[in-house]
Amino acid sequence: MPHTFLSSKAIPVRERLIMALDVPSIPEAQALVEELGGSVIFYKVGMELFMSGDCFGFIEWLKQRGKKVFVDLKFFDVPETVGRAIRALSSKGVDLATIHGNDAIMQSAAANKGDLKVLAVTALTSLDRGDLDDLGFKCDVRDLVLSRAKRALQIGCDGIVSSGLEAAMLREHLDHRLLVITPGIRPVDNREEDDQKRVVSVEMAFENGADYIVVGRPIRDANDRRAMAEKIQAQILGVFAQASASN
Protein backbone atom coordinates (compact mmCIF):
# COMPACT_ATOMS: atom_id res chain seq x y z
CA MET A 1 0.00 0.00 0.00
CA PRO A 2 1.38 3.45 -0.87
CA HIS A 3 2.17 5.59 2.15
CA THR A 4 -0.41 8.15 1.04
CA PHE A 5 -1.56 9.08 4.52
CA LEU A 6 1.65 8.59 6.49
CA SER A 7 2.02 11.17 9.26
CA SER A 8 4.08 14.20 8.28
CA LYS A 9 4.20 15.68 11.80
CA ALA A 10 7.60 16.25 13.44
CA ILE A 11 7.20 13.52 16.05
CA PRO A 12 10.28 11.46 17.03
CA VAL A 13 9.68 7.93 15.76
CA ARG A 14 10.17 6.29 19.15
CA GLU A 15 7.55 8.58 20.71
CA ARG A 16 4.87 7.34 18.31
CA LEU A 17 4.34 4.23 20.46
CA ILE A 18 2.17 4.91 23.52
CA MET A 19 2.15 2.09 26.04
CA ALA A 20 -1.13 1.69 27.94
CA LEU A 21 -0.42 1.12 31.64
CA ASP A 22 -3.49 -1.04 32.18
CA VAL A 23 -2.42 -2.49 35.52
CA PRO A 24 -4.22 -2.33 38.89
CA SER A 25 -1.64 -0.54 41.02
CA ILE A 26 1.01 2.16 40.84
CA PRO A 27 3.81 -0.12 42.10
CA GLU A 28 3.01 -2.52 39.24
CA ALA A 29 3.01 0.37 36.78
CA GLN A 30 6.36 1.62 38.06
CA ALA A 31 7.84 -1.87 37.80
CA LEU A 32 6.57 -2.16 34.22
CA VAL A 33 8.03 1.23 33.25
CA GLU A 34 11.39 0.29 34.77
CA GLU A 35 11.31 -3.07 33.01
CA LEU A 36 10.63 -1.42 29.65
CA GLY A 37 13.39 1.16 30.16
CA GLY A 38 14.19 3.11 27.01
CA SER A 39 12.00 0.94 24.78
CA VAL A 40 8.97 3.15 25.56
CA ILE A 41 8.92 6.95 25.93
CA PHE A 42 5.17 7.65 26.01
CA TYR A 43 2.69 6.14 28.51
CA LYS A 44 -1.09 6.16 28.80
CA VAL A 45 -2.65 6.35 32.24
CA GLY A 46 -6.29 5.27 32.30
CA MET A 47 -9.17 4.92 34.74
CA GLU A 48 -8.03 1.74 36.47
CA LEU A 49 -4.64 3.15 37.41
CA PHE A 50 -6.07 6.55 38.31
CA MET A 51 -8.30 4.91 40.90
CA SER A 52 -5.46 2.97 42.53
CA GLY A 53 -3.57 5.63 44.48
CA ASP A 54 -1.50 8.79 44.11
CA CYS A 55 -1.67 8.98 40.36
CA PHE A 56 -0.49 12.59 40.20
CA GLY A 57 2.60 11.54 42.13
CA PHE A 58 3.07 8.76 39.60
CA ILE A 59 2.74 11.22 36.71
CA GLU A 60 5.45 13.35 38.32
CA TRP A 61 7.56 10.18 38.69
CA LEU A 62 7.16 9.51 34.96
CA LYS A 63 8.04 13.07 34.00
CA GLN A 64 11.19 12.95 36.15
CA ARG A 65 12.29 10.00 34.03
CA GLY A 66 11.81 11.88 30.78
CA LYS A 67 8.57 10.15 29.85
CA LYS A 68 5.53 11.65 28.15
CA VAL A 69 2.07 11.13 29.60
CA PHE A 70 -1.34 10.59 28.05
CA VAL A 71 -4.21 10.75 30.57
CA ASP A 72 -7.15 8.81 29.16
CA LEU A 73 -10.14 9.53 31.41
CA LYS A 74 -12.60 10.56 28.66
CA PHE A 75 -14.01 13.49 30.63
CA PHE A 76 -17.78 13.68 30.18
CA ASP A 77 -19.71 16.03 32.44
CA VAL A 78 -21.21 19.50 32.62
CA PRO A 79 -19.07 21.62 30.24
CA GLU A 80 -17.84 23.98 32.96
CA THR A 81 -16.78 21.01 35.09
CA VAL A 82 -14.88 19.46 32.19
CA GLY A 83 -13.17 22.80 31.50
CA ARG A 84 -12.03 23.09 35.11
CA ALA A 85 -10.78 19.50 35.12
CA ILE A 86 -8.78 20.09 31.94
CA ARG A 87 -7.35 23.31 33.37
CA ALA A 88 -6.24 21.48 36.52
CA LEU A 89 -4.73 18.64 34.49
CA SER A 90 -2.80 21.05 32.27
CA SER A 91 -0.79 22.17 35.32
CA LYS A 92 0.47 18.63 35.96
CA GLY A 93 2.78 18.32 32.96
CA VAL A 94 0.45 15.96 31.10
CA ASP A 95 0.92 15.90 27.31
CA LEU A 96 -2.39 14.45 26.04
CA ALA A 97 -5.85 13.99 27.56
CA THR A 98 -9.19 12.70 26.28
CA ILE A 99 -12.68 14.14 26.46
CA HIS A 100 -15.96 12.63 25.30
CA GLY A 101 -19.11 14.58 24.61
CA ASN A 102 -20.95 17.26 22.67
CA ASP A 103 -19.84 20.58 21.22
CA ALA A 104 -20.20 22.48 24.52
CA ILE A 105 -17.94 19.99 26.31
CA MET A 106 -15.33 20.19 23.56
CA GLN A 107 -15.49 24.00 23.53
CA SER A 108 -14.97 24.21 27.29
CA ALA A 109 -12.03 21.80 27.16
CA ALA A 110 -10.40 23.64 24.23
CA ALA A 111 -10.75 26.98 26.05
CA ASN A 112 -8.99 25.68 29.17
CA LYS A 113 -6.30 23.35 27.80
CA GLY A 114 -3.23 25.60 27.93
CA ASP A 115 -0.26 23.56 26.66
CA LEU A 116 -2.16 20.30 27.13
CA LYS A 117 -3.33 18.71 23.87
CA VAL A 118 -7.00 17.71 24.05
CA LEU A 119 -8.24 14.68 22.15
CA ALA A 120 -11.90 14.04 21.36
CA VAL A 121 -13.01 10.41 21.36
CA THR A 122 -14.91 9.49 18.19
CA ALA A 123 -16.18 5.90 18.59
CA LEU A 124 -14.60 3.44 21.01
CA THR A 125 -12.70 0.59 19.34
CA SER A 126 -14.58 -1.86 21.59
CA LEU A 127 -17.85 -0.96 19.80
CA ASP A 128 -19.13 -2.59 16.63
CA ARG A 129 -22.25 -1.93 14.52
CA GLY A 130 -24.53 -3.80 16.94
CA ASP A 131 -23.22 -1.83 19.91
CA LEU A 132 -23.78 1.49 18.14
CA ASP A 133 -27.35 0.44 17.31
CA ASP A 134 -27.93 -0.30 21.00
CA LEU A 135 -26.66 3.20 21.87
CA GLY A 136 -29.03 4.83 19.40
CA PHE A 137 -26.49 5.74 16.69
CA LYS A 138 -28.26 4.66 13.51
CA CYS A 139 -25.68 6.20 11.17
CA ASP A 140 -22.71 4.29 9.75
CA VAL A 141 -19.73 4.22 12.12
CA ARG A 142 -17.56 5.96 9.52
CA ASP A 143 -20.05 8.80 9.21
CA LEU A 144 -20.18 9.13 13.00
CA VAL A 145 -16.38 9.24 13.31
CA LEU A 146 -16.01 11.80 10.50
CA SER A 147 -18.74 14.02 11.92
CA ARG A 148 -17.21 14.05 15.38
CA ALA A 149 -13.73 14.68 13.98
CA LYS A 150 -14.92 17.65 11.91
CA ARG A 151 -16.60 19.17 14.95
CA ALA A 152 -13.51 18.63 17.10
CA LEU A 153 -11.35 20.42 14.52
CA GLN A 154 -13.75 23.36 14.18
CA ILE A 155 -14.05 23.77 17.93
CA GLY A 156 -10.32 23.78 18.66
CA CYS A 157 -9.42 20.32 19.90
CA ASP A 158 -5.92 19.15 18.98
CA GLY A 159 -6.78 15.66 17.89
CA ILE A 160 -9.00 12.64 18.08
CA VAL A 161 -8.89 9.05 19.20
CA SER A 162 -10.00 6.83 16.34
CA SER A 163 -9.67 3.30 15.09
CA GLY A 164 -7.09 2.75 12.39
CA LEU A 165 -9.96 1.49 10.25
CA GLU A 166 -11.23 5.07 9.92
CA ALA A 167 -7.88 6.92 9.95
CA ALA A 168 -7.44 6.97 6.17
CA MET A 169 -10.93 8.40 5.70
CA LEU A 170 -10.13 11.14 8.22
CA ARG A 171 -6.91 12.05 6.43
CA GLU A 172 -8.71 12.10 3.10
CA HIS A 173 -11.33 14.56 4.37
CA LEU A 174 -9.35 16.54 6.97
CA ASP A 175 -5.75 16.20 5.77
CA HIS A 176 -3.22 16.28 8.66
CA ARG A 177 -4.76 19.10 10.67
CA LEU A 178 -5.67 16.85 13.62
CA LEU A 179 -3.57 14.46 15.65
CA VAL A 180 -4.89 10.93 15.21
CA ILE A 181 -4.25 8.52 18.07
CA THR A 182 -5.14 4.93 17.26
CA PRO A 183 -5.82 2.29 19.93
CA GLY A 184 -6.80 -1.32 19.30
CA ILE A 185 -3.40 -2.28 17.86
CA ARG A 186 -2.70 -5.97 17.56
CA PRO A 187 0.75 -7.01 16.27
CA VAL A 188 -0.54 -10.61 16.03
CA ASP A 189 -3.89 -12.22 15.23
CA ASN A 190 -6.71 -11.02 17.50
CA ARG A 191 -7.82 -13.56 20.08
CA GLU A 192 -11.47 -14.55 20.54
CA GLU A 193 -11.58 -13.30 24.14
CA ASP A 194 -10.28 -9.85 23.16
CA ASP A 195 -12.87 -7.11 23.76
CA GLN A 196 -11.37 -4.86 21.08
CA LYS A 197 -13.42 -5.46 17.94
CA ARG A 198 -12.15 -2.86 15.46
CA VAL A 199 -8.41 -3.54 15.45
CA VAL A 200 -5.53 -3.02 13.02
CA SER A 201 -1.86 -3.93 12.77
CA VAL A 202 0.99 -1.54 13.55
CA GLU A 203 1.82 -1.02 9.88
CA MET A 204 -1.79 -0.54 8.81
CA ALA A 205 -2.42 2.06 11.52
CA PHE A 206 0.45 4.28 10.32
CA GLU A 207 -0.17 3.67 6.64
CA ASN A 208 -3.76 4.80 7.24
CA GLY A 209 -2.60 8.04 8.86
CA ALA A 210 -2.17 7.52 12.61
CA ASP A 211 0.26 9.88 14.36
CA TYR A 212 0.48 7.67 17.45
CA ILE A 213 -0.61 4.14 18.30
CA VAL A 214 -1.67 2.91 21.75
CA VAL A 215 -0.58 -0.63 22.65
CA GLY A 216 -1.40 -2.32 25.93
CA ARG A 217 -1.99 -6.04 26.24
CA PRO A 218 0.38 -7.19 23.47
CA ILE A 219 3.27 -5.69 25.48
CA ARG A 220 1.93 -6.19 29.01
CA ASP A 221 1.14 -9.89 28.44
CA ALA A 222 4.29 -10.76 26.48
CA ASN A 223 6.81 -13.18 27.91
CA ASP A 224 9.54 -10.61 27.23
CA ARG A 225 7.90 -7.21 27.47
CA ARG A 226 10.90 -5.14 26.49
CA ALA A 227 11.56 -7.33 23.46
CA MET A 228 7.94 -6.95 22.35
CA ALA A 229 8.10 -3.15 22.76
CA GLU A 230 11.32 -3.05 20.73
CA LYS A 231 9.72 -5.27 18.07
CA ILE A 232 6.87 -2.77 17.72
CA GLN A 233 9.33 0.13 17.66
CA ALA A 234 11.17 -1.63 14.84
CA GLN A 235 7.90 -2.05 12.93
CA ILE A 236 7.17 1.67 13.31
CA LEU A 237 10.68 2.63 12.20
CA GLY A 238 10.35 0.31 9.22
CA VAL A 239 7.17 2.04 8.01
CA PHE A 240 8.72 5.51 8.15
CA ALA A 241 12.11 4.39 6.80
CA GLN A 242 10.44 2.75 3.82
CA ALA A 243 8.49 5.92 3.11
CA SER A 244 11.67 8.05 3.31
CA ALA A 245 13.53 5.72 0.98
CA SER A 246 10.76 5.93 -1.64
CA ASN A 247 10.67 9.75 -1.63
With beta carbons less than 8 A apart as the criterion, state whether 84 and 112 touch. yes
19 part of a folded domain = yes
Active-site residue among 74, 150, 197, 231? 74
Q: At residue 2, does pLDDT exceed 70?
A: no
Q: What is the CATH number of the domain that holds 64?
A: 3.20.20.70
Q: At residue 103, does pLDDT exceed 50?
A: yes
pLDDT, tens digit, for every residue of 159-204? 999 888 888 999 999 989 999 999 888 765 444 444 444 468 999 9
CA atoms within 13 A on the CB side of 31: 8
Phi, psi for residue 17 in degrees, rounded to 5: -90, 120
Lowest mean pLDDT among 28-42, 158-172, 211-225: 158-172
31 part of a folded domain = yes
Q: What is the mean pLDDT of residues 76-91?
A: 95
pLDDT of residue 143: 81
pLDDT of residue 139: 58
Q: Which domain holds residue 98?
A: 15-246
Neighbouring residues of 194: CB distance < 8 A, sequence distance ≥ 6 = 186, 217
Total domains present in the chain: 1
30 part of a folded domain = yes
Run of H or E including 7: none
pLDDT more than 70, % of the chain = 85
pLDDT of residue 188: 52
Lowest mean pLDDT among 14-18, 106-110, 132-136, 225-229: 132-136
Residues 107, 102: Cα–Cα separation, whole Å: 9
231 part of a folded domain = yes
Distance in Å from the first CA to the final CA of the chain: 15
Mean pLDDT of the chain: 87
Residues 33, 68: Cα–Cα separation, whole Å: 12
2 part of a folded domain = no
63 is catalytic: no
Q: How confident is the model at residue 242 (pLDDT cuts 50, 70, 90)?
A: confident
10 part of a folded domain = no
122 part of a folded domain = yes
Residues 13, 200: Cα–Cα separation, whole Å: 19
Residues 209, 108: Cα–Cα separation, whole Å: 27
Please name which of 123, 245, 109, 118 lies closest in space to residue 184, comparing C-alpha atoms.
Answer: 123
With beta carbons less than 8 A apart as the criterion, state whether 20 and 49 touch. no
**175-176-181-186 Cα dihedral, nearest 10 degrees:** 70
Q: How confident is the model at residue 148 (pLDDT cuts 50, 70, 90)?
A: confident
pLDDT of residue 1: 45
Q: Determine the Cα angle at 230 with ends 226 and 232, to 5°.
A: 120
With beta carbons less than 8 A apart as the criterion, state whether 170 and 149 touch. yes
pLDDT of residue 190: 42
pLDDT, tens digit, for every residue of 53-74? 899 999 999 999 999 999 999 9
7 part of a folded domain = no
